[in-house]
Structures are given as structure tokens and as C-alpha cells.
Amino acid sequence: MKIGVVGCAGRMGQMLSRYVLDTDGCELVGGSEKTDAAIGKDIGDIIQREHLGVKVSSTEELFEKADAVIDFTTPKATVSNAVLAAKAGTSLIIGTTGFSKEQQEVIENASKKAVIVQAPNMSIGVNLLFTLVEKIARTLDDSYDIEILEMHHRNKVDAPSGTALGLGKAAAKGRGVELDDVAEKVRNGIIGARAKGEIGFATLRGGDVVGEHSVIFASNGERIEISHKASSREIFVKGALKAALWTRKKHFGLYSMQDVLELS
Ligand code: NAP
């Protein structure tokens, strides 16, 4: 399968490029960067490997030559990549997080003409957590307060993390409510007692933490806590490539990692 990596010089982009090269049945056909100044650079030089003869191209060209493009960049870049995917009919794997409602609508629209897999977290462990959280929330009534705590490295730009919001959505689904109606993302000052049914978020940032998430169900007399701790970005890379391979022979549409892992 011919795979392209947008943002190939990024933290995730570099790891992805190396992993595609090392995976049987996959061919790294190119990458793109934010500025045109990078066009023509050998990707081997970017990822500290030998000269590969595989060059950075424009993103348009990448979508023309790849069967699937993997995208861990920024919401703005990913939205225009979704339009390119629809134009070229190329599969798109979206790992980028932090989309606005309007940006998400563009992705949904693009998925009418391309296979798109979008997941705020590509790891198997976190996707299992989504399933378990939904199940626990369905089992417990709203005498259990749901709080979601996450910590990431100091350079992360969006908060709460896409994974924390995904966990919130899973909990809300289990409860039969919409996350937007019950989410409390920021608490500061004299805010009064916690509202019944609220799903709260708390965000920590620091150091080089790859990603830690806990969902807490707290009631009078007991507390259930379920956590996932990532110590290497490799888990996201593996998941993204699994998703890319999975898109072969799939019909146009917007899919999740739950679909890829058959957890839905
Ligand atoms: P990063 O190191 O900043 O990498 C992003 C790369 O994208 C940078 O090289 C950036 O270039 C490039 N880029 C920006 N705009 C572009 C454009 N228009 N065309 C091509 N490349 C462009 O960030 P990261 O840590 O890899 O994370 C990237 C995203 O993935 C974030 O949203 C993060 O939350 C998400 N993420 C998701 C998962 C998951 O499992 N779903 C896991 C980890 C991270 P410049 O540096 O020149 O701006």
C-alpha cells in the first residue's frame, strides 16, 4: 500500500515515516511539510535515516500518488487535507485533534467522497477504555459523578485533549446525554456545588508526558477509577498504520478506531 505522511517533520510525522518504511506491504511514497521551502528534501534526511530517494512534495501531489495519507498536523491543515482527500479519492487517517464544530463539518462532508478514519487517540488501549467507560456509565446512575483527568507534555496546544473529550463523549453516550449539554471544562473561583449529571474535565501540562487519562466515577462511599498511561508515541503510530491498511476496500465514509478495531 502506498502511504504518504503530511507533516512528516513533526513529532508524530517522523515516527510514522520510519514505521511505514519498516512495515512489510507498505511503501512510503512521500511526505509534505508546512512550507514549500521543504519541497525536494529527501525524507531520509528528515528522519535521520539513509538517503531514501523519497522526497517532500506539495500536499496536493502527495494525495495524487498515495493510496492513504496519514495526518497528524494541525486542525487548519487537516481540514484542507480532507478536501484534497475528497478530490483525489485518497483515504485519509486523521490523528490531529482540536477541531471546531465548523471544521468537523468539513471533515464529515469530505467523507462522502473519501474513506476517512478519524480518532483522537489511535492506541488500542485507549480505544478499549472508550468501550469500558461507555459501559460503566451505562451501568451506574447519576449518583456517580464523572470526572476526567488528563496530563500531557508542555508543548500540547489544545485542551482538554481530544482523547479526554472522546472519553467524555463515551461517558455521555453511556448515560444517554449529549456531552455538550453536561460538560464542565473549566472551573475557577466561587462556582458553587457540582451540578448533578455534570461531566467534569481537569487538564495538567508538563514535561515530556506522552499522554495520561483517568476517568473517575465518584459516589458516596466508593470511587471507581479507570486509567490509561502512554509511555511511547509508538502506540499511536502503530494504530494509525493499522487504520491506513484497514481502509483498503472500504466504502467512502467517516470511521473511527472503534470501527478499525471492531470494538463498535
Ligand atoms: P508537531 O510535532 O507540532 O507536528 C505537526 C507537524 O505538522 C509539524 O511538523 C508542522 O510543521 C506540520 N504542519 C503544520 N501545518 C502543516 C501543513 N499545512 N502542511 C504540512 N505540514 C504541516 O505535533 P505532534 O506532536 O506530531 O502532534 C500533531 C497532532 O497530532 C496534534 O493535534 C496532536 O494532538 C495529535 N496527536 C494525536 C494522536 C492520536 O493518537 N490521535 C497522538 C499524538 C498526537 P511546523 O512545525 O513547521 O509548523
Tell me which DSSP letter residue 5 carries. E
pLDDT score at 264: 79
Tens place of pLDDT per residue across the chain (264 aa)? 999 999 999 999 999 999 999 999 999 999 999 999 999 999 999 999 999 999 999 999 999 999 999 999 999 999 999 999 999 999 999 999 999 999 999 999 999 999 999 998 999 999 999 999 999 999 999 999 999 999 999 999 999 999 999 999 999 999 999 999 999 999 999 999 999 999 999 999 999 999 999 999 999 999 999 999 999 999 999 999 999 999 998 999 999 999 999 987
CB 35 within 8 A of CB 7: no
Residue 34: strand, helix, or coil:
coil
What's the gap in Å between 215 CA and the centre of ligand 1? 26
| Gap between the Cα atoms of 94 and 242, Å rounded | 13
Looking only at the bridges linking them, the beta strands covering 145-152 and 115-118 are: unpaired
92's enclosing H/E stretch is strand 91-94
Which residue out of 156, 173, 242, 250 is catalytically annotated?
156
Within 10 A of 64 (CB to CB), how many other CB atoms are there? 16
Domain extents in the chain: 2-118+233-260, 124-230
H helices of 100-233, in order, are: 101-110, 124-139, 162-175, 179-182
Architecture of domain 124-230: 2-Layer Sandwich (3.30)
**211 three-class SS:** strand
Say whether 238 is catalytic: no
Ligand 1 centre to CA of 25 (Å) is 25
2-118+233-260: what fold? Answer: Rossmann fold (3.40.50)
DSSP 8-class letter at 192: -
Q: Measured from the CA of 94, which atom of ligand 1 is nearest?
A: 41
- Grid coordinates representing 173 are 453516550
Ligand 1, residues 12, 39, 150, 212: which to mutate, most atoms within 8 A of Cβ? Answer: 12
Helix axes 234-246, 11-21, angle to 10 degrees: 60
233-258 confidence digits (pLDDT tens): 999 999 999 999 999 989 999 999 99
Q: Is 57 helix (H, G, I), strand (E, B) or coil?
A: coil
pLDDT for position 91: 98
For the Cβ of 96 lying below 6 angstroms from any atom of ligand 1, the answer is yes
Ligand 1 centroid to Cα of residue 204, in Å, is 20
- Whether residue 217 contacts residue 223, with contact meaning beta carbons closer than 8 Å, is answered with yes
Please choose, from the candidates 84, 81, 115, the residue with its C-alpha nearest in 3D space to the C-alpha of residue 247.
Answer: 115
- Same CATH fold assignment for domains 2-118+233-260 and 124-230: no
**Cβ 12 under 6 angstroms from ligand 1:** yes
The CA-based angle 204-171-98, given to 5 degrees, is 50
Q: pTM above the 0.85 mark?
A: yes
How confident is the model at residue 249, as a pLDDT? 87
Angle at 123 between CA 251 and CA 87, to 5 degrees: 30
Phi/psi for 183 (5° steps) reads: -75, 140
